Structure 1
Amino acid sequence: MRAKITYFLTAAVLVVYFVLVGSRGLMLIGQGTWLTVTFGVAVLVLPVIGIWFLWMNTRFVTRANRLAAELEAEGALPVDELERDEYGRILRDSADEVFARRKAETEDAPGDWRSWFRLAVAYHDARDTPRARKAMQRAIALHDAEHVAA
């Protein structure tokens, strides 16, 4: 729940920032000289990129949460199996073992979005965000393809 509040608060702050920056860009364009119009257009590019980035991330999180809810309804949410030391750091041997199982599961069923979701969670638990994101994107794509075909 704390992560959702932080995400929405950050998104709200970004939207306010985009509005402020966008209004400054429009004010520059309104001046009408070639220099201010050029700077105004350049300033407007930043909020457009930011809004696109925020939209894509919100869409990704919403879709990943939908998959998690579906797995929870099935009683198939993955359990954090990684062993940790007294400071909460993941023990390397434990991580290797869990990843080997998750990868084998994914290799055995490469078209199963559930296995990709579980692999993404394992990567996330190990703080490997790039791999977690790629695995979750694959799970989302497979899930969407499964539901379109059905």
Structure 2
Amino acid sequence: MESNVALWEIILKAITVLIAVIGFAYQIIGLDPQKRSRLKTDLEILEKFKKNGLEEEYERLSNHIKNRVPSIYRKPEETDTVLRIPDIQRLIIGVILTIFFSGITVYYYINLNGFQWWMVVTTLLVISGIGNILQGVLGDSSKK
């Protein structure tokens, strides 16, 4: 009986680590700190195309820049009565992280009669889930 409990505990911890890695990878994939620097480089190249009389390249790069600017600099949206969720994937991942890791933390806190060191990790993952929920509902401020 005790070996089954130990086996389930190991499986549960492995699943916890796996979900944490997936959540971490999702956060890293969403980062693109060089958007504005790429835009600046593109604008510098565009200026050189204009100086050198390269009309076809100028038009192609100009269209590319026009397509990228709205994704970097968004207009403040007019308020309306429809609820819009800017990033539904982030919201769903946040809800899953929050529910799953808070459940694990509370379950083990009750069953192990107190605090264990790894509960800090699950608590941080709960906070990460709450952050994902907020970013999903409010939008990513770095994209504005």
TM-score above 0.5: no
Q: What TM-score bracket applies, with the shorter chain setting the length?
A: 0.3 to 0.5
* TM-score for both structures, normalised by structure 1: 0.32
TM, length-normalised to structure 2: 0.33
Whose RCO is larger (CA < 8 A, sep 6+)? 2
